[in-house]
Structure 1
């Protein structure tokens, strides 16, 4: 054990026995002040003197550069609170934490002030040392600057000198949050994870357990300790935790040592972390247990520790995630040609976490539903979500951790890469998911819907535009994640796959342990680009610096090809242009090739002139981030091809044709009936992705028309279209057997969902029967796991109070996270307004609905036609309760269905009154509503006529049943 470790233990022991010792200036060690640790709430030094000019926004001056932190943190909470009955001295829970930090830094420019980030902390006892001489420097005052963005200043008695090294000691105290941010307190019931959880002899499901965990991205480190809380200001962290003797502590790095200080407390010291960004610091104090996996990949040998409640480990619910983690980490190590900076990965299943998961370096946290997998309970979709989530967080160990971003305006540089590489990795380790195809279909839909609004934002904003906490929060959207990933895929195809992968390797190796921006990536890729004509920065700058994307229009009669900024609002004007790689094919073999559409304007290409019966298909395999429009003749030829032999059109282009047609209709660039014609071939389609694209895009029409006379014929059309697919899986569905491939399992679920939600009698009877069998024997749920989502929801929708009450009671007693989500969603499927009102009222009571579930329930109720107005009124009536954690998300959800002038005026008043709470979302929801109003007015009559015409009785072959 190193000398530094021994000194740390001496300090920790002194810390816990309530004494901070005075240590002389031996060499350059820290001077500690003799004071009671219990007085960390002492009043800070009084302000005085003239105010110091505040740095702009969130940013700190660049006069000091942090090198390391030595942190001691003492969360005082109880993991177990003795029952109060018969015990008058039973303690109450405490949320207080105390601690101190010593940050070592180098002075880059003379200054008489030290600026740090700090929020909601009481700071005291500042001690500043010149580490080069061991001399103490006086601190005249400590105070918050009036920036509104958490910057505090220590004004010094003398000037710090450029090139010298200093250290600052501060004591601090704060309160753990009840919400999953900063250092927060969470709870669960003993035996609370997994199938059969709580069945163990020692597990009491009525016993509550508490744990403390951290969630510091993006700017949450300042809530836990005073720090340089910017991603580029990387430092080494030496962490020591004080915690109760029966608990376990885990941090980013491996444990260096631990010992008991008395019968109640012990301390755990961790090895130093790599030099990393402050938001990646993480620790957990709990009674969770772990199971360990070991793996080797080339010269990398690493250990995986999976943490969860004991029952989850006992039931093997971490086995899938543990083995998958090893496979994906080995793949990344081989692909990138270097390790991830550590030899141990701790992954923790938490009962409450804000995001699905968080990539803290070496200590990855997950909401337990994204880590625990039970083949008897989890659906195929949940298994896929677990795989993608794990791969995303593991990719961050390289993109974001090993190589960090300089500032949050480059968020895409880590999130886009992690999104893209997660699908590549899962596709490599398990081909049955077909993840590369799923990636394109899912992410194109998410990114383009946001990016087709004038209120969208560029992938890379100027740093000056990202200077508040809300402006950072706004970047965590489908633009940074999905669009970022899709542009990387497009660039990979444009510059060729081998060159791209070599460029990514160069980028990681060159900038490991450093912070970067997009120019560093362009440079690394350019050095590996093997052709002589591609300039990476010239190609990518329009795609990353401009918001939105183009629509490419091809006229196969004239051969003209042109581009235009694609926007839903037809009245918005834009002159933006892009360099667009266009790969095209045709039913005439010689009509295929590729070109780059320039920014010079419309062009005439002879190869795009097609003869009679010849169609052209552009954006082959959906590689480009753009939409394609054609002249009407070409559209009709493509539709005819789909109906006669759909397999001539590549799978992803069947998705693309549907998506482009519907979104062009939404933007009023083609008639809605043209888009609806693109779905006719689906009555014979058995692949999941085209059906999923159709259901997703028809979802917009449902949202706009489910309260109008269009809804009846629309439902009948969907019944007719899905009946063959439903019958294809009927034997599996009725018997409770599972199709072999994950894609087939998802397609079966989609078929049942579309059939039941649109009233196909056979489907409604099936779900009613299966649900009744479960109600009659609650201890024996024979409903096949993959179908439980739709069976629960549709049975509640078709039923009444009895079915709703049954699901509510199951929800209250359920401990499996995946099953709880299903049950929670099913409660919002009721068509009884009074039951939906009751559910919304329950969200106000944390004893009934976890805070983590509140926004999901409100959003689910708002998506139900029967509950939409109810949810909108509830949000406005209880805004003060909702706004802190759920405001923007619930407003985005409820406003999606607004399509009348009355709703727009109500929304305007709300945005006017509460715009500051919406973190910049107000303009987007108002724009979306205006687009909806115009679209409905122009398309209601045409949609009604089309659906009525398509549902007129016609002769045809009998439906086919699966074997």
Structure 2
């Protein structure tokens, strides 16, 4: 699955506190406010209603456990019929007929299959005439196999079928059910989406799916676990004039006599998990190209006619090539109301419109980058997720981490001039650090027994699984070397992917196969990697260049925090250290214990050491003060001697070491002085991310003005550079990341009050308001210049406008905007949480957003909490954050203490440096 919510990876307004941070703060308070209430609600809603199958906490019955027994192996044959018009009860529904064949693996008298209570069973029986279970020979089994009783468990979501006799191992049986479900607009399972076409004149209804993690059971009764793979046959009945798509190719389309409906038959869906099943019924159209083999891009007719699918079509083929994935066919479809960023369903990959559609007239460069990375992420899943699946959700980081790492390789191959491989530092490594440095973090791979309920499964779709998974697998690939890593995975070498094709595996299987390639290491891959994935957190490596001593310690932002997760490895890691000395690359070293002497790292006073070269390892680095001084002097005299990603690392490591009280805060601030000479995007983005923490803390104190003055001084050379090469900001640079740096420069220039900036942007905005169709503002700069939300035909443009609406400082306008969230006709469900975040990022909007969430918690949670991937993912992080900071009020006590200790030093530093 894609990374869920893609709040822009590039700062729209440099001085703005990140929307995600503010949203975390606001909803965290909501969690406290509703903690007891939610507990009681959960207990009530999860209570079993069955007198036959109670679910007491002490029960050991199979139907009271969240894991299916390993007694049956299924195959599915079903027909589904979504109704895209309301029935007599003013409801949208779908109906289905299911004939599941399963093989008995172990003797049993019990059949458990997942089923959601919202799907009503019209019938559930074995054989109409005899009510017996039907056997593979076509004859009814002995009469003692008659249905004994049938029930449903609310908590574990099972259809429970108890038999009088035993099923026999090796025999095949059929279970027949008919069912009716509501085609709701809740963004999960089999649901409907509504959108406007023909310039807003006609409303369209489409039926679409999102089965991950546990929503397949809402569409049909099934064995809804990732390891329970099966072959599927799913014909779809739908209205004439609509098209049905599924995971496999269409074989036949039959018009049913006397009815305005058709039946589309597809080839069998290859052995896969229930949560990868997908189907769409719509009036969409598509584009393809003869040299793209079976690749098609589907979207709304208007979007396809406007060429918005062309870019995705063009970059899909090179991404498939670098992944060595040769599809017989591949449909990719842009959906107007889709909660995840994207979903990697085999043969039918589903996307948000902003993740697949690009209009060069209105889409920014960042929109294009998002498309290439999301497409690359989903296509990487064809191997790690679809072909080979984790046995259980506790190992999700293996799949999502792999896709999150490989997405940069695919994007780099498709767009080789963009330097995409470097951006993993910003958008995965440092993102993972932020979460994994809290005492509430969790290991990349958890114990199976820690992940049971659907909510616990959803919580696994978080920053640790995606971003830490990417960072750790990148580190593994680097110390093995990329050729060895690729060979260990490759189907061509009869290794991991081939052995487990169409099956499932655990993380140990991967380490063993990589070891077989013949890599020479001090320890086995398994012994090295289990320390990185089975214990939470990461180390800070401290190098004393006076002695050569190198040590490691578990890095925590709050040094007094108590970690309640024990580690069999005592929070020690086997750390690969690539490094350079005064610009010269040195041989890699390994730190294998808490502390060790590495004599080569003892240097003279005129030399400096830089560790974690090219930021290939998942750890932070600290030095003795003398080495810090020499590094910073090198940055100010000739920063290009140090690789661009390491300049980014120095900034981010220093600020976070200061937040953890490991180094002095003024030392961290000194790392920003060299920015006078910096023109690269990644260091500037990292610096602004870290400085935003200070803007948030000091926005209402005397420090704020001094900070603004300092930043205004530091950005001046950058603004002069871009003002010159862009003809007074009217054009954009040709370089991909230069365009992002230009956005940063303009936004800082405006936010810090540089003369002429507001006048320039105001004139652009005035022209646009007078004649919106003739928008002369370049798409890259619109998020900065807009500070109006009207109907937009391009999803990416709507995102800019939604963000810009939150810029106002007028409270009643922000309150009115918040009220729009309650109306899906104004703010789509998929955009609700990010819109709250945009408003919360505004200093004026923070208390308003908090009051709004608190006052409307029940409605928001009911509407968005259960069906929103973004909401559940945020809540899972907040629950851990809440637990970690309960005694200090979500970190407020720590922040206050930190402010009292550091405020005067910070103020004096900014005053002296801005003079």
TM-score class, shorter: 0.7 to 0.9
| Residue correspondence of structure 1 range 514-525 to structure 2 within 5 A | 514-525=503-514
Higher relative contact order structure (alpha carbons within 8 Å, sequence separation ≥ 6) = 2
Deviation at 1:322, TM superposition (A): 0.6
Q: Which residue of structure 1 lines up, in the alignment, with residue 667 of structure 2?
A: 674
Q: Which residue of structure 1 lines up, in the alignment, with residue 376 of structure 2?
A: 391
Shift of the 882–921 alpha-carbon distance from structure 1 to 2, 3 Å rule, reads farther
Q: Which residue of structure 2 lines up, in the alignment, with residue 848 of structure 1?
A: 826
Q: Which residue of structure 1 lines up, in the alignment, with residue 11 of structure 2?
A: none
Q: How many residues align?
A: 837
Deviation at 1:501, TM superposition (A): 1.1
Question: Does the 8 Å CA contact 1:470/1:919 hold for their aligned counterparts?
Answer: no
Deviations 1:678-704 (A, max 9, x none): 000001101111111101111211122
Question: Is 1:318 aligned to 2:309, yes or no?
Answer: yes
Q: Which residue of structure 2 lines up, in the alignment, with residue 498 of structure 1?
A: 483
Question: Does the 8 Å CA contact 2:285/2:299 hold for their aligned counterparts?
Answer: yes
Which of 815, 835, 849 is equivalent to 2:793?
815
Q: Which residue of structure 2 lines up, in the alignment, with residue 228 of structure 1?
A: 223
Deviations 1:391-424 (A, max 9, x none): 0011111110011110000101110111111101
Cα distance in 1 between the residues matched to 2:441 and 2:65: 22
Q: Which residue of structure 1 lines up, in the alignment, with residue 10 of structure 2?
A: none
| Residue correspondence of structure 1 range 202-601 to structure 2 within 5 A | 205-261=200-256, 262-295=258-291, 302-333=293-324, 339=325, 342-505=327-490, 506-531=495-520, 533-572=522-561, 575-587=570-582, 589=584, 592-599=586-593, 601=594
Cα distance in 1 between the residues matched to 2:461 and 2:67: 19
Deviations 1:336-355 (A, max 9, x none): xxx46x51100111001011
Deviations 1:6-42 (A, max 9, x none): xxxxxxxxxxxxxxxxxxxxxxxxxxxxxxxxxxxxx
SS at match of 2:702: coil
Q: Which residue of structure 1 lines up, in the alignment, with residue 895 of structure 2?
A: 932
Shift of the 712–50 alpha-carbon distance from structure 1 to 2, 3 Å rule, reads closer
Question: Does the 8 Å CA contact 2:440/2:883 hold for their aligned counterparts?
Answer: yes
Question: Does the 8 Å CA contact 2:830/2:868 hold for their aligned counterparts?
Answer: no
Q: Which residue of structure 1 lines up, in the alignment, with residue 628 of structure 2?
A: 635
Question: Does the 8 Å CA contact 1:459/1:545 hold for their aligned counterparts?
Answer: yes
Cα distance in 2 between the residues matched to 1:853 and 1:764: 29
Q: Which residue of structure 1 lines up, in the alignment, with residue 810 of structure 2?
A: 832
SS at match of 1:179: coil
Deviation at 1:846, TM superposition (A): 2.1
Cα distance in 2 between the residues matched to 1:206 and 1:919: 44
Question: Is 1:103 aligned to 2:100, yes or no?
Answer: yes
Deviation at 1:888, TM superposition (A): 10
Question: Does the 8 Å CA contact 2:340/2:869 hold for their aligned counterparts?
Answer: no
Deviation at 1:48, TM superposition (A): 5.6
RMSD: 2.5
Q: Which residue of structure 1 lines up, in the alignment, with residue 844 of structure 2?
A: 866
Q: Which residue of structure 2 lines up, in the alignment, with residue 698 of structure 1?
A: 691
Question: Does the 8 Å CA contact 1:186/1:210 hold for their aligned counterparts?
Answer: yes
Shift of the 492–767 alpha-carbon distance from structure 1 to 2, 3 Å rule, reads same
SS at match of 2:264: strand
Using structure 1 for the length normalisation, give the TM-score: 0.84
Cα distance in 2 between the residues matched to 1:740 and 1:588: 30
Question: Is 1:130 aligned to 2:152, yes or no?
Answer: no
Cα distance in 1 between the residues matched to 2:595 and 2:331: 55
Could you tell me which runs of 5 or more consecutive residues in structure 1 were left unpaired when the two chains were aligned. 1-44, 82-89, 192-197, 199-204, 297-301, 334-338, 797-806, 897-914, 953-963
Shift of the 930–97 alpha-carbon distance from structure 1 to 2, 3 Å rule, reads farther
Could you tell me which runs of 5 or more consecutive residues in structure 2 were left unpaired when the two chains were aligned. 1-48, 127-132, 564-569
Q: Which moved more, 1:658-667 or 1:704-713?
A: 704-713
Shift of the 260–373 alpha-carbon distance from structure 1 to 2, 3 Å rule, reads same
| Residue correspondence of structure 1 range 654-673 to structure 2 within 5 A | 654-673=647-666
SS at match of 1:236: strand
Larger Cα Rg: Structure 1 or Structure 2?
A: 1
Shift of the 616–233 alpha-carbon distance from structure 1 to 2, 3 Å rule, reads same
Question: Is 1:724 aligned to 2:717, yes or no?
Answer: yes
Using structure 2 for the length normalisation, give the TM-score: 0.88
Shift of the 919–269 alpha-carbon distance from structure 1 to 2, 3 Å rule, reads farther
Question: Does the 8 Å CA contact 1:56/1:467 hold for their aligned counterparts?
Answer: no
Question: Does the 8 Å CA contact 1:892/1:925 hold for their aligned counterparts?
Answer: no
Deviations 1:731-756 (A, max 9, x none): 41635212111111111111112222
Deviation at 1:924, TM superposition (A): 4.9
Cα distance in 1 between the residues matched to 2:193 and 2:343: 16
Which of 105, 111, 114 is equivalent to 1:114?
111
Deviation at 1:772, TM superposition (A): 1.1
Cα distance in 2 between the residues matched to 1:544 and 1:889: 29
Q: Which residue of structure 2 lines up, in the alignment, with residue 612 of structure 1?
A: 605
Q: Which residue of structure 2 lines up, in the alignment, with residue 142 of structure 1?
A: 150
Deviation at 1:493, TM superposition (A): 1.3
Question: Does the 8 Å CA contact 2:188/2:867 hold for their aligned counterparts?
Answer: no
SS at match of 1:729: helix
Shift of the 817–832 alpha-carbon distance from structure 1 to 2, 3 Å rule, reads same
Cα distance in 2 between the residues matched to 1:701 and 1:253: 52
Q: Which residue of structure 2 lines up, in the alignment, with residue 785 of structure 1?
A: 779
Q: Which residue of structure 2 lines up, in the alignment, with residue 757 of structure 1?
A: 751
Question: Does the 8 Å CA contact 2:380/2:407 hold for their aligned counterparts?
Answer: yes
Cα distance in 1 between the residues matched to 2:732 and 2:404: 29
Deviation at 1:229, TM superposition (A): 0.2
Question: Does the 8 Å CA contact 1:100/1:169 hold for their aligned counterparts?
Answer: yes
SS at match of 1:279: helix
Q: Which residue of structure 2 lines up, in the alignment, with residue 189 of structure 1?
A: 196
Q: Which residue of structure 1 lines up, in the alignment, with residue 24 of structure 2?
A: none
Deviation at 1:847, TM superposition (A): 2.5
Deviation at 1:932, TM superposition (A): 3.1
Which of 155, 171, 183 is equivalent to 2:178?
171
Cα distance in 1 between the residues matched to 2:379 and 2:613: 31
| Residue correspondence of structure 1 range 677-688 to structure 2 within 5 A | 677-688=670-681
Cα distance in 2 between the residues matched to 1:480 and 1:272: 31
Cα distance in 2 between the residues matched to 1:522 and 1:50: 42
Deviations 1:220-262 (A, max 9, x none): 1001101000000000110011111121110000112111213
